[in-house]
Amino acid sequence: MDVQTLVMRDVDYLLALGVLVVGLVAGYLVGRLNARLLRAAGVPEAVEGTSVERTARRFDTSIAALLARFSSLVIYAVAVVLALAVMDLVDLRALWYRLVGYLPAVVFALAVLVFGVLVGDKAEVVVSERLRGVKVPEIGVIPLVVKYGIVFVAVLVALGQLGVATLPLVLVFAAAALALIVFVAVATKDLLTSAAAGVYVLLNQPYGIGDRVRIGETSGIVQELDVFVTYIEDDGTEHVVPNAHVFEYGVVKER
């Protein structure tokens, strides 16, 4: 091995080391910048309260921080590949063709999957908040159905981007959805009856807030009513009466 070859190899090593250093610095700076951009865009507030964010908090981090670190890791990986290419340890052209063919689809699939999980978690929180005033046990299944429905759609889109045949999964999802609808209809029969009665009450207004009524064995002053239940207070005691009792027992307005 002649001197020129040794010198060229040393130059390659130094150049590869320089690429690594530049990549480390660039990755760190991009991570910091993305963290600020995500905070400015309101991402921490958008995912606040979701199960994914709570899981991240257990490890003393957050979704925004993880996304920022991921961007840094991508740059670190690119720097390593370029350094290996400088030392002729990697065929950069062949690797580039492979990345061009697969990387966009993989990145898009991961983005869709992460977005679907975050949106599903946030939708669960929002729906739970909306239904918090409905004091019916069966109502708790609705936020979960919304969450996993969104996540499943995201999974289908992600797999479709990767070239995976999703028709069998769609058929399985359709069968599961049908079974779930039947199960929910049977399990929430009283809830559906209460909802129908609630719509009747809200449209026809046989009684309203402030009226003294008797529904079945419960009597008192109506404090609040919604689609599913009526809140009646009597001598400091609040009664939650399912609106289905309106159809079952009728309503007596007391004067």
Domain boundary among 187, 219, 237: 187
Closest CA to 245 of 185, 206, 203, 190: 190
Token pair in block for residue 215:
């529904």
Could you give the CA distance from residue 177 to residue 174 in angstroms, rounded to a whole number? 5
Q: Does residue 194 lie within any of the structural domains?
A: no
Amino acid identity, residue 83?
A
Rg (CA), the chain: 30
Q: What is the pLDDT of residues 99-108, one digit of tens each?
A: 666 777 777 8
Residue 152 and residue 222 share a domain? no
What would the mean pLDDT of 52-63 be, rounded to a whole number? 78
Give how many domains the chain has, as a whole number: 3
- Parent domain of 126: 102-187
What would the mean pLDDT of 228-250 be, rounded to a whole number? 83
Relative to beta strand 229-234, strand 237-242 is antiparallel
Residue 126 and residue 84 share a domain? no
Pinpoint the alpha helices (H) of 41-166.
Answer: 43-46, 51-58, 63-86, 92-130, 141-161
What would the mean pLDDT of 207-231 be, rounded to a whole number? 85
Give phi and psi for 222, each to the nearest 5: -70, 120
Q: Report pTM.
A: 0.52
Q: What is the pLDDT of residues 114-139, one digit of tens each?
A: 888 888 888 888 888 777 765 555 56
